[in-house]
Amino acid sequence: MSGFPVDTVFAALAVRLGERASRSNAIVAAHGASESYHAAHPPDIVAFPQSTEEVAAIVSICAAHGAPIVPWGAGTSLEGNASAVHGGVCIDFAEMNRVLAINAEDLDCRVQPGITRKRLNTELRDTGLFFPIDPGADASIGGMTSTRGSGTMAVRYGTMRDNVMALEVVLADGRIIRTSRRAKKSAAGYDLTRLFVGAEGTLGVVTEITLRLHPVPEAMSAVVCPFGSFEGAVSTAIAVIQAGIPVARIELLDEVMIRGVNAYAKLGIVEAPTLFLEFHGTPAAVAEQAEAVREIAHEHGALGYDSATRTEDRNRLWTARDNTLYAGTGLRPGSKALITDVCVPVSRLAECLVATKRDIEASGLIAPIVGHVGDGNFHTLILVDPGAPDEIARAQALHERMVARALDLDGTSTGEHGIGTGKMAFLERELGEAVDVMRTIKRALDPKGIMNPGKIFK
Amino acid sequence: MSGFPVDTVFAALAVRLGERASRSNAIVAAHGASESYHAAHPPDIVAFPQSTEEVAAIVSICAAHGAPIVPWGAGTSLEGNASAVHGGVCIDFAEMNRVLAINAEDLDCRVQPGITRKRLNTELRDTGLFFPIDPGADASIGGMTSTRGSGTMAVRYGTMRDNVMALEVVLADGRIIRTSRRAKKSAAGYDLTRLFVGAEGTLGVVTEITLRLHPVPEAMSAVVCPFGSFEGAVSTAIAVIQAGIPVARIELLDEVMIRGVNAYAKLGIVEAPTLFLEFHGTPAAVAEQAEAVREIAHEHGALGYDSATRTEDRNRLWTARDNTLYAGTGLRPGSKALITDVCVPVSRLAECLVATKRDIEASGLIAPIVGHVGDGNFHTLILVDPGAPDEIARAQALHERMVARALDLDGTSTGEHGIGTGKMAFLERELGEAVDVMRTIKRALDPKGIMNPGKIFK
């Protein structure tokens, strides 16, 4: 049972939004599911605003009646971040998905939260600029902002923390604020932009995002580099980072994941621990970087070093990488993935990855590994039968050991997926009393507790 | 009169700190002055802690008696950020100035707030790494953190926002927290690190800082490039940024500032609007960048393009740049500088700078210009006779017109110096209701209002 008057709230929303407020079974069910193994929690109502003013009106109605508010982008989050665990009103940004301004001369743009990263890059096509953050899924910019997402190119271009310049936010009482102006840097007061980036909608609803863009590099080349040993691949990645080579991407896939990718995307590459790399820059810089990495890889037992400079070959490679979630679950039809997301200092990565690999092998579970190893971040996709509680418990135990190991190495339980509901159990262990400060801020900005409740902390 | 029992607080501090708590006239006076034109506001007491635990004890004593707390680094801030406007206890970090850990393999280090950036770089000398943030002054890392400082290399390496990875903070109630672990990225809860960076000590006292370091580039070269017109210099800077050339520094000095620098540092360069540039990378990349910039500069009327690759020549150039505050005030002996700090989107920079230059000329005041133009940020040093209120009023009016112009161009009143007391009047105009959110956070984390009161907002 939801703890708010659903009929009253729905009636008020319908007055304002007409058919863009919905209680249809199909629609609420679609907004409770996710791509992960977490249980579904549908909202009571789904609203489809078309403007910031409509979002403010929705929030005001919810505030008046104590209804939970759950923002929704593309539904690709992995930790139940947009799950309506307490019911309430889901705000779906499907109809707020436009590019509002492109300032090519300033390398920035302003967008609505519902636009996906691929659509944004399509709209930027003629500007000579691109938005590099690539979490794999075609996530919405709003969702990526709220989970502080990153992905394959973070090693070169940073995370959403670094690429969000300003936000428009609807607060829990319906007021609308802008967190910053468009200057590239500012020392004017508290960094509210960074406070809302990664807050998972628990402090306010993001309604506009100003993003930093980057010039499309003059030259790009990709490399597939298989290794005779898992350790060789990991050590190569670490040495590349420590040498300061500005790779644009450096992704590790273990032989299990390569098997999945081969089956899913017909990539036809050797089933060995493999690095996928990409280099961006002038033609001379790209050649220089590729050669420097080749030497390091050779020293660590690389079995090959295959370049792809043609756009279609590069795209095929990175599309395969982007689909590792589906490629991974494809290894066990009918399974769902418990996806881990630990991130450790690069100097501890080899230790962390090798111990994890052994732990997976000992567990008897199937759990392919794919990692943004340049940042010390990697995922395992622990494949479970969603109807087998015993297996889920074993997967969770494996996950817990992984997080404990990462924390022992001064790392984090989540490099990029956020806490959501799935990693709440680890937050206090990771940050101790700092979590109290987060709670204090939460209570100050959302005294009624209506903004995406049940996420990050209880 | 201070609104707290000074004798009682001093007695309690003396029990804990012995002679490291001081009320001597000379010491309190030294902690009220600053390098800017702002009036002096000495604290009642200065404390010199040697550990985080001592800082926590000081804060607890102050909290018990309602005494204001003002953290102090190197005293180089420019907006009264460390001025004891309500009296109270100044916490001077002179005895907390150590490097606590260098993790060369992870490109990071952990330091105490009192260490200055130059000392830090001296200690890093044998690691192959450096800390690039260079605000000119030999500021303390704690002060740079708390003002969200940046400076000449921000165009390539970012600001303190980008280079602080984690903080230890003593809260207003004496509790000690860590904002993050040492992983390069994390999506675990609110970004408390970024909340305290730039908070000017109003939310807590920073006691340890984990910093990102960068590999010393294989090659570096600097260039001095004078122009026939101010517009030519500005347009060159903008074109370089828009072309995506990854310059390490690109500083504009107008002919007035060059005159000051020549006199102060015997630089002996032509008195014309001038760009100082620096390039970092492999030898090939540095040569490629320098050549690309030379072509752009030539198109915009450069009068020369003199390279300096020898370390001593580069150092001489950047030392001269670092001393522009003294070089500027040297143009008018006995003067103090009202230093402006607007920052606008790069596409609006030419308009902003040219209008500013005209406004200065019409004002009859002397105000050399020096700017981090790659970021759209520039300073004017409006030279005033500190004993001439009428002149200070004219300088303030010039400053206000500059800020109004920057805000009209979607910019900020402060790119890097912070609000302090000096720019409080502009904050609401810049960020509107977002300032209420800052106030709400301030009240939640510092309910007694003891943390550096009278800064950022009233």
Contact A432 B215 (CB under 8 A): no
Residue of B nearest to A286 (CA): B285
Query: How far apart are the CA of A288 and the nearest CA of chain B, in angstroms?
Result: 9
Average pLDDT value over all residues in chain B: 96
Q: Give B242's contacts in chain A (Cβ within 8 Å).
A: 105, 107
Query: How far apart are the CA of B343 and the nearest CA of chain A, in angstroms?
Result: 6
Nearest by CB: A416 against B185, B199, B376: B185
User: Per-residue pLDDT averaged across B352-361, rounded?
Assistant: 97
Q: Which residue has the higher pLDDT, B311 or A91?
A: A91
Q: Is the pLDDT of residue B259 over 90?
A: yes
Q: pTM of the full predicted structure? A: 0.97
B317 beta partners: none
Contact A187 B147 (CB under 8 A): yes
* Beta strand pairing call for A69-72 and A89-92: parallel
Helices (H) and strands (E) in chain A, counts: 17, 18
Residue B350 backbone phi and psi in degrees, to 5: -60, -50
| Closest C-alpha among B232, B231, B235, B226 to residue B259 | B226
Residue of B nearest to A411 (CA): B183
| Closest C-alpha among A185, A177, A188, A444 to residue B456 | A188
Structure tokens at A394: 């074993």
Q: How far apart are CA B416 and CA A395, in angstroms?
A: 48
Which pLDDT score, from 0 to 100, does residue B39 have? 85
| pLDDT tens by residue, A192-241 | 999 999 999 999 999 999 999 999 999 999 999 999 999 999 999 999 99
Type of residue at A237: A
Which pLDDT score, from 0 to 100, does residue B267 have? 87
Residue A184 backbone phi and psi in degrees, to 5: -70, -25
Instruction: Give the position of tokens 């990855």.
Output: A353
Q: Is the pLDDT of residue A190 over 90?
A: yes
- DSSP letter at A221 equals E
Complex ipTM tops 0.90: yes
Site from A145, A185, A240 to mutate, B interface, most B CB atoms within 10 angstroms = A185
Q: Is the pLDDT of residue A115 over 90?
A: yes
Contact B197, B180 (CB under 8 A): no
- DSSP letter at A39 equals P
Q: How many CB atoms lie within 10 A of CB B24?
A: 10
B101 beta partners: B110
Assess A417–B contact: CB distance below 8 Å, yes or no. Answer: yes
**Window B:128-157, CB contacts with A under 8 Å:** 147-150, 154
Name the band, by pLDDT with cuts 50, 70 and 90, for residue A128. very high
Average pLDDT value over all residues in chain A: 96
Structure tokens at A221: 């080349």
Q: Is the pLDDT of residue B337 over 60?
A: yes
Contact B105 A346 (CB under 8 A): yes
Residue % of chain B over a pLDDT of 90: 92
Which pLDDT score, from 0 to 100, does residue B37 have? 81
Instruction: Give the position of tokens 């390539």.
Output: B156
Please give the distance of CA B117 from its chain centroid, rounded to a whole number.
12
Residues 6+ apart with CB under 8 A from B174: B56, B57, B59, B60, B63
How many residues does the structure list for chain A? 458
| Closest C-alpha among B364, B312, B149, B280 to residue A244 | B280
Which pLDDT score, from 0 to 100, does residue B2 have? 66
Element (H, E) at A220: strand A219-226
Type of residue at A317: L
Structure tokens at A199: 């807050």
CA distances from B264 to B261, B320, B321, B366, B394 (A): 5, 8, 11, 16, 26
Q: How many CB atoms lie within 10 A of CB B114?
A: 24
Query: How far apart are the CA of B427 and the nearest CA of chain A, in angstroms?
Result: 7
Q: How far apart are CA B252 and CA B236, in angstroms?
A: 10
∠ CA A161-A166-A171, nearest 5°, is 100
Residues 6+ apart with CB under 8 A from A154: A133, A372, A374, A375, A416, B185
Name the band, by pLDDT with cuts 50, 70 and 90, for residue B452. very high
Q: How far apart are CA B140 and CA B131, in angstroms?
A: 13
Cα first-last separation, chain B: 18
Nearest by CB: B177 against A162, A179, A432: A432
Q: How many CB atoms lie within 10 A of CB A25?
A: 9
Q: Is the pLDDT of residue B1 over 70?
A: no
**Window B:182-221, CB contacts with A under 8 Å:** 182-192, 194-195, 197-199, 203, 214-215
Alpha helix segments (H runs only) across A243-345: 255-265, 283-299, 311-322, 324-329
Contact B110, B100 (CB under 8 A): yes
The radius of gyration of chain B's CA atoms, rounded to the nearest angstrom, is 22
Query: How far apart are the CA of B332 and the nearest CA of chain A, in angstroms?
Result: 29
A341 beta partners: A414
Q: How far apart are CA A141 and CA B456, in angstroms?
A: 31
Q: Give A436's contacts in chain B (Cβ within 8 Å).
A: 175, 177
Contact B108 A345 (CB under 8 A): yes
Name the band, by pLDDT with cuts 50, 70 and 90, for residue A267. confident
Q: Give A438's contacts in chain B (Cβ within 8 Å).
A: 189-190, 192
Element (H, E) at A165: strand A164-170
Contact A376, B183 (CB under 8 A): yes
Q: What is the DSSP string of A7-35?
A: HHHHHHHHHHHGGGEE--HHHHHHTT--S
The full 3-state SS of chain B, as one line of letters, equals CCCCCHHHHHHHHHHHHHHHEECCHHHHHHCCCCCCCCCCCCCCEEECCCCHHHHHHHHHHHHHHCCCEEEECCCCCCCCCCCCCCCCEEEEHHHCCCEEEEEHHHCEEEECCCCEHHHHHHHCHHHCEECCCCCCCCCEHHHHHHCCCCCCCHHHHCCHHHHEEEEEEECCCCCEEECCCCCCCCCCCCCHHHHHCCCCCCCCEEEEEEEECEECCCEEEEEEEEECCHHHHHHHHHHHHHCCCCCCEEEEECHHHHHHHHHHHCCCCCCCCEEEEEEEECHHHHHHHHHHHHHHHHHCCECCCEEECCHHHHHHHHHHHHCHHHHHHCCCCCCEEEECECECCHHHHHHHHHHHHHHHHHHCCCCCEEEEHHHCEEEEEEEECCCCHHHHHHHHHHHHHHHHHHHHCCCECECCCCCCCCCHHHHHHHHCCHHHHHHHHHHHHCCCCCECCCCCCC
**Positive or negative: CA dihedral A59, A61, A65, A69:** negative
A283-299 and B283-299 helices cross at what angle (nearest 10)? 170
Contact B242 A105 (CB under 8 A): yes
Q: Is the pLDDT of residue B35 over 80?
A: no
| pLDDT tens by residue, A131-180 | 999 999 999 999 999 999 999 999 999 999 999 999 999 999 999 999 99
Which pLDDT score, from 0 to 100, does residue A38 have? 84
Contact B179 A431 (CB under 8 A): yes
Name the band, by pLDDT with cuts 50, 70 and 90, for residue A2. low
The radius of gyration of chain A's CA atoms, rounded to the nearest angstrom, is 22
Assess A351–B contact: CB distance below 8 Å, yes or no. Answer: no
Q: How far apart are CA B96 and CA B51, in angstroms?
A: 7
Which pLDDT score, from 0 to 100, does residue A39 have? 85
| pLDDT tens by residue, A27-67 | 999 999 877 788 899 999 999 999 999 999 999 999 999 99
Contact A181, A166 (CB under 8 A): yes
Q: How far apart are CA A387 and CA A367, in angstroms?
A: 18
**Window A:258-287, CB contacts with B under 8 Å:** 282, 284-285
Residue % of chain A over a pLDDT of 70: 100
Query: How far apart are the CA of B365 and the nearest CA of chain A, in angstroms?
Result: 26
Contact B50, B116 (CB under 8 A): no
Which pLDDT score, from 0 to 100, does residue A77 have? 93
Q: Is the pLDDT of residue B287 over 90?
A: yes
| pLDDT tens by residue, B209-252 | 999 999 999 999 999 999 999 999 999 999 999 898 999 999 99
Q: How far apart are CA B404 and CA B356, in angstroms?
A: 11
Site from B190, B192, B431, B440 to mutate, A interface, most A CB atoms within 10 angstroms = B190
Q: Is the pLDDT of residue A1 over 60?
A: no
Query: How far apart are the CA of B11 and the nearest CA of chain A, in angstroms?
Result: 30
